[in-house]
């Protein structure tokens, strides 16, 4: 439990800044994931765990219908290609392909499921503390 509590403890700005640059063969080598973690920590610093969980729940509530809409658009485009449906509103460009809509639907649903799993995991940790 001590490791978990240390992970949720805010760190001073100096400690976060040092994690952005990794000393390897070159002093100037920068790893993007450390910058992402530092940026995420700065954004979430003002939010409590409960507030972040609420924001995740709101995002899940918006992502699931968006995934359904993207799936319907993909099926509509497939139906148009097979001459089963009427004209598709987007006639050119990236979003005129059914593969893009289906992939977008899968990505949105995966993100939604990931946020649901993260939210349940976070709530279990906060109940234990």
Give CA separation, 93 vs 20, 23, 90, in Å: 38, 44, 8
Regarding whether 124 and 90 lie in a shared domain, the answer is: yes
Regarding whether 116 and 92 lie in a shared domain, the answer is: yes
Spatial contact of 83 and 102, defined as CB atoms under 8 Å apart:
no
Number of folded domains in the chain? Answer: 2
Regarding whether 86 and 31 lie in a shared domain, the answer is: no
The residue range of the domain holding 33 is 1-46
Regarding whether 119 and 85 lie in a shared domain, the answer is: yes
Regarding whether 71 and 26 lie in a shared domain, the answer is: no
Whole-number Å distance between alpha carbons of 55 and 63: 12
Question: Residue 70: what pLDDT?
Answer: 96
Q: Name the pLDDT band for 122 (thresholds 50, 70, 90).
A: low
Most confident of 5-9, 25-29, 69-73: 69-73
Regarding whether 102 and 58 lie in a shared domain, the answer is: yes
Q: Is 80 exceeded by the pLDDT of residue 50?
A: no
Q: Name the pLDDT band for 35 (thresholds 50, 70, 90).
A: low
Percent of the chain predicted with pLDDT > 70: 53
pLDDT in tens, 55-110: 778 888 899 999 999 999 999 999 999 989 989 888 899 999 999 999 999 999 99
Whole-number Å distance between alpha carbons of 109 and 62: 11
Regarding whether 30 and 74 lie in a shared domain, the answer is: no
Percent of the chain predicted with pLDDT > 90: 32
Regarding whether 71 and 27 lie in a shared domain, the answer is: no
């Amino acid at each position: 439990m001590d490791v978990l509590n240390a992970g949720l403890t805010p760190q001073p700005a100096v400690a976060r800044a040092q994690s952005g640059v990794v000393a390897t063969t070159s002093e100037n080598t920068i790893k993007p994931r450390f910058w992402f973690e530092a940026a995420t920590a700065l954004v979430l610093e003002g939010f409590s765990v409960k507030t972040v969980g609420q924001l995740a729940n709101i995002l899940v509530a918006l992502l699931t219908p968006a995934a359904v809409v993207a799936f319907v658009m993909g099926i509509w485009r497939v139906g148009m290609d097979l001459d089963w449906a009427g004209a598709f509103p987007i006639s050119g460009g990236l979003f005129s392909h059914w593969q893009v809509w289906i992939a977008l639907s899968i990505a949105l649903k995966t993100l939604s499921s990931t946020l649901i799993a993260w939210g349940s995991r976070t709530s279990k940790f906060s109940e234990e503390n």
